[in-house]
Amino acid sequence: MSAPARVMRMADDDGAFWAVVREGRILRRYATRSSAEIGLDQLVVRERPKRKERACISCGETFQSEHAGHRMCRNCRPRATLCAQFYG
């Protein structure tokens, strides 16, 4: 799991700006703090629902799904021919 992103005030040769930053890397830059906060919210909303408990589509067992394409539990995944579709 990656570190949470946050909003930071930054500056470069072109002047000061707000940025959504994760692990020291600028994901996106914004002119104002409010737009950066909104951008961060959208990022969190986009990422969070993907990681949740799901019922395996193969055996029905509940497991921790890492993202939207992750629909099979650990037991079923190695046997799944759909893997290439999800991970290829």
Backbone φ, ψ for residue 75 (5° rounding):
-65, -35
Residue 21 contacts Zn ion per CB under 5 A: no
Q: Which stretch binds Zn ion (CB under 5 A): 1-9, 23-31, 35-43, 52-60?
A: 52-60
The CA dihedral of 76, 3, 42, 48, to the nearest 10 degrees, is: 30
- 28 forms bridges with which residues in the sheet? 20
- Residue indicated by tokens 């700006």: 17
- The tokens for 8 are 């930071």
Residue 58 contacts Zn ion per CB under 5 A: yes
- Give the nearest distance from C-beta 10 to Zn ion in angstroms: 45
Q: Which of 31, 55, 59, 68 binds Zn ion (CB under 5 A)?
A: 59
Q: Which residues bind Zn ion (CB under 5 A)?
A: 56, 58-59, 61, 73, 76
